[in-house]
Structure 1
Amino acid sequence: MLNQTQIRELIDREIRTLLLDPDNEAAAAEDSEDLIELGLNSLTLAQLLIELEMELGVDPFADGVSITDMRTVSDLVQAYTAALAGEPVPAPTGV
């Protein structure tokens, strides 16, 4: 099972790829950075979640927490960490 750091690195890589900047390590987002401020819109956020589900084999949004509640990179890391551990996905703190 992946740890939080590995999940974070995967999310960063997928975001950079979606934003057409896969090689820019400096583009890594801060945990608290807003997904919209990073340049993600509803379409790219949906694409990100599809890529993460294919890569990780889990959908943390199948029950309960809505993907529209995900506001930050940290929210996504927490959701995927919980889902991979088979735990309920916590509601983001900023909602």
Structure 2
Amino acid sequence: MKQIITVIRPHLAEKVLASLRRAPLEALTVTEVKGYGRQKSYLDEYQRTEYDEAFLPKVEITMWVDDSRYEEVLQKITQVARSGRIGDGKILVTSVDSFL
């Protein structure tokens, strides 16, 4: 079993979730979070809104997928969420020994 943690821009969350609607997921959670990556606090404008803070709004989607199907899920996420610009977010994949 794999755990996939995706941190993406908020305006893409619904599109990513729609693309995962028929995906082979065991479970899924969605959380509103704030953070920064390579841009640090240098991104003054985000989605036509100015930010004084160092932390930008993001959405974290955590899901658990069978080992044989996780690459399919990763492709769906990257097709929808990747723009190639700084601030796209991160995808982390870890192995899970047991899922209760």
Q: Same fold (TM over 0.5)?
A: no
From the two aligned structures, give the one with the greater strand fraction: 2
Q: Which has the higher contact order (CA 8 A, sep 6+)?
A: 2
Which TM-score applies when normalising by structure 1? 0.35
Which TM-score applies when normalising by structure 2? 0.34
